[in-house]
Structure 1
């Protein structure tokens, strides 16, 4: 009788779970070969402090944000660093500060934590001089954790931003909140034409997205932090609900879009992400490695491959450079890592 009760209890617990049993494994959704791995990295620049994001200007120089110092840097391919200034109004605390950066022509777009909110702003860049700030979006929820922060231009010419739910998990399901979302907008901060709800919101039900990338077919992917068990890479659909906080990882509930890959949180805590050579490349913070996620022709994922595990510590910024390499930034001075000589650094990683 005791054995029967044990079997019934286990069955009931399984039935009550919203996630599938394999939700926390490194779970692919297709059989796409990974291809050749990366080559030997080289240091582009050392001695930085939490380089959060990297983008490239038309001339080939990079713009780099430092989260805690609020500095915006110009970095050349040979490692020359020029400070373009400290961004006023940044309130760096916890996981907040100066985060995302994107560029279009000579316009620079920044995502940062202010005194009362997270916001998206625009500057005109002339040489090494920033013009006056224009606030495009204000009122994005801020918190000690989960501020999102990634900015990137899509192939459609619109600006995308990732936001977090600041630890207030129900914000992710509230379509009238900017927390726990992917946003899509014009260069003036207006909702982009065709947005699914007529607002800035493009997708919702996110916990804390910090990576955005598009494949050669124009499909959008996002990397997302789980809570204690399941980190994710998601293929983003306009209007899609990605389940948080009702679901972490995969589920059998048709209301929510399942991730194409899940990891256990000790293997990933995925942040920056780029697409190159048929794969997504995802920087892992807690996992201290660079994940290669091969993509099939239909956008599904093959088996991920880990590179440089433990070699450089926490990896946050990952961007495809104009010369075909990846630029990868470490985040060992963010209060959760163990700084090494030369940290924080930006690495140039060659791809075959």
Structure 2
């Protein structure tokens, strides 16, 4: 599973043209099954359609009152969605320049939101991808403050997920925007998972004294922690294998030298891989003893049991070919899972109701 040398002309063409929607050339690998409280062999409760008529809802974050803020990638709109499904525009986010896979992407709510009312957004601007902090008021978004700038932008592989961890630090998933060299370059913010303070400074305890927490990533769009504080991430493969990785401080995940497991001590192997037609995983959530990964090309929601030791069991496909491309999956305050579709992103087959927010009741 070693990658070919970047110095060959053939590889250079493949790396520029490849994406996780390319045909697979290898088979999936899965660990042996583990017991899990999530009962992956059982059917999910009835899925409810909460909202319809959206346009590429990319990320969801819940406010303390239970309402959610939802980003639309291509329209640059931030929406407020109630538990009952009422959708209200908060406003169009200034400075967003959508294009390709870029636009308005991640959203995170300050851990101190009741006091500071801060909302963090990851988006593509004129010259870069960036994280901007806003104050959320009854009038919309105010006091835009860029806290991390200079994240490389491109037509694809822009990363984009934001999440506050159990340590109350902000984690930022970035992509290598098709320039594979950036993933191994620790002077670049591309192809990394970043860990910063609420003001955007390198977080205390970071491995290199910079904003970088881990590197060697191709395109990370999902972050989730289990109840033991372990961080997991989804990773788009090129044309063979998509991944779920357990993320540890300072680790190198191998791209572009490795796609999937490489058996090289310099790199951290994934916990789990799928072929790219089975997954193309974007959002990631953890609840009820399982990871849940939303598949774009795979058009399914993967449930992956996680054992007490962090090992993962055999993944189970849910919602396969029922709702099309799935983008975000987020645990709601009531124990349900919210899942968004992404059928209007230029690669799907939208129905009259797309795009939608789906709710899977607690189970």
Map of 1:250-265 to 2, 5 A cutoff? Answer: 250-265=261-276
User: 1:16/1:125 Cα in 2 relative to 1: closer, same or farther (>3 Å)?
Assistant: closer
Deviation per residue, 1:165-216 (Å, 9 max, x gap)? 0000110000110000000001100011000001000000000000000000
Q: How far apart, in 2, do the equivalents of 1:29 and 1:151 lie?
A: 31
User: Counterpart of 2:159 in 1: which secondary structure?
Assistant: coil
Quote the residue 1:6 is aligned against. Answer: none
Quote the residue 2:81 is aligned against. Answer: 75
Quote the residue 1:99 is aligned against. Answer: 105
Quote the residue 1:207 is aligned against. Answer: 218
1:24 shift after superposition: 4.0
Q: Unaligned 5+ residue runs, structure 2?
A: 6-24
User: 1:138/1:15 Cα in 2 relative to 1: closer, same or farther (>3 Å)?
Assistant: closer
User: Counterpart of 1:131 in 2: which secondary structure?
Assistant: strand
User: 1:219/1:307 Cα in 2 relative to 1: closer, same or farther (>3 Å)?
Assistant: same
User: 1:306/1:138 Cα in 2 relative to 1: closer, same or farther (>3 Å)?
Assistant: same
Quote the residue 2:229 is aligned against. Answer: 218
1:17 shift after superposition: 7.8
Contact kept, 8 Å, 1:23 with 1:250, in 2: the verdict is no
Q: How far apart, in 2, do the equivalents of 1:313 and 1:37 lie?
A: 19
Q: TM-score, with normalisation over the residues of structure 1?
A: 0.93
Q: Based on CA coordinates, which of the two structures has the bigger radius of gyration?
A: 1
Q: How far apart, in 1, do the equivalents of 2:199 and 2:65 lie?
A: 24
Contact kept, 8 Å, 1:52 with 1:66, in 2: the verdict is yes
Q: How far apart, in 2, do the equivalents of 1:309 and 1:191 lie?
A: 40
Match for residue 123 of structure 1 among 114, 123, 134: 134
Quote the residue 1:65 is aligned against. Answer: 71
1:131 shift after superposition: 1.3
Figure out how many residues of one structure are paired with residues of the other and give that number.
Answer: 336
Q: How far apart, in 1, do the equivalents of 2:29 and 2:323 lie?
A: 22
Q: How far apart, in 2, do the equivalents of 1:28 and 1:127 lie?
A: 49
Matched, 1:295 2:301: no
Higher mean alpha-carbon deviation, 32-41 vs 183-192, is at 32-41
1:31 shift after superposition: 2.5
User: 1:29/1:144 Cα in 2 relative to 1: closer, same or farther (>3 Å)?
Assistant: farther
RMSD, aligned α-carbons: 1.7
Q: How far apart, in 2, do the equivalents of 1:199 and 1:17 lie?
A: 30
Q: How far apart, in 1, do the equivalents of 2:184 and 2:354 lie?
A: 38
Contact kept, 8 Å, 1:233 with 1:259, in 2: the verdict is yes
Map of 1:1-352 to 2, 5 A cutoff? Answer: 24-28=27-31, 31-33=34-36, 35=39, 36-104=42-110, 105=113, 106-352=117-363
Q: TM-score, with normalisation over the residues of structure 2?
A: 0.90
Q: How far apart, in 1, do the equivalents of 2:213 and 2:2 lie?
A: 32
Contact kept, 8 Å, 1:32 with 1:303, in 2: the verdict is no
Runs of 4+ in 1 over 6 A off after TM superposition: 14-18
1:38 shift after superposition: 2.4
Deviation per residue, 1:85-105 (Å, 9 max, x gap)? 101111100000000000011
User: 1:242/1:29 Cα in 2 relative to 1: closer, same or farther (>3 Å)?
Assistant: farther
Contact kept, 8 Å, 2:68 with 2:82, in 1: the verdict is yes
User: 1:127/1:264 Cα in 2 relative to 1: closer, same or farther (>3 Å)?
Assistant: same
User: 1:338/1:23 Cα in 2 relative to 1: closer, same or farther (>3 Å)?
Assistant: closer
Deviation per residue, 1:200-249 (Å, 9 max, x gap)? 00000000000000000000000000000000000000000000000000
User: 1:178/1:152 Cα in 2 relative to 1: closer, same or farther (>3 Å)?
Assistant: same
Q: How far apart, in 1, do the equivalents of 2:339 and 2:301 lie?
A: 9
